[in-house]
């Protein structure tokens, strides 16, 4: 679990990042989750754009992504999720 100071530092690091994964019209598929998992393995801190999801679906998607990828949510701003998973 991230403490407030860690979350603040990660938000600062994430500010300059571009989304590396886009959730499209098909929603949160297994392929999208696998791509998020690969991106977290490589980058540790990523942005995901949930362009294809409605408001309700976006609210549900971030906790699902974090649970299935063992990641921590850092921030959600509109359609952008910032997700962190420490490299082993």
Is residue 70 within 8 Å of 59, Cβ to Cβ? no
Where along the chain do its domains lie?
A: 4-84
User: Is 90 exceeded by the pLDDT of residue 88?
Assistant: no
Q: What is the mean pLDDT of residues 28-47?
A: 97
Fold designation for 4-84: Translation Initiation Factor IF3 (3.30.110)
Distance of CA 23 to CAs 3, 16, 49, 75, Å?
28, 20, 6, 17
pLDDT of residue 6: 97
User: Is 90 exceeded by the pLDDT of residue 82?
Assistant: yes
Q: What is the mean pLDDT of residues 18-44?
A: 96
Q: What is the mean pLDDT of residues 61-83?
A: 97
Total-model pTM: 0.93
């Amino acid at each position: 679990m991230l403490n407030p100071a860690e979350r603040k530092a990660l938000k600062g690091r994430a500010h300059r990042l571009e989304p590396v994964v886009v959730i499209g019209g098909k929603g949160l598929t297994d392929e999208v989750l696998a791509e998020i998992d690969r991106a977290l393995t490589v980058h540790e801190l990523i942005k995901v754009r949930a362009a294809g999801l409605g408001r309700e679906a976006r609210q549900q998607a971030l906790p699902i992504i974090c649970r299935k990828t063992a990641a921590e949510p850092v921030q959600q701003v509109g359609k952008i999720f910032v997700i962190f998973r420490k490299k082993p």
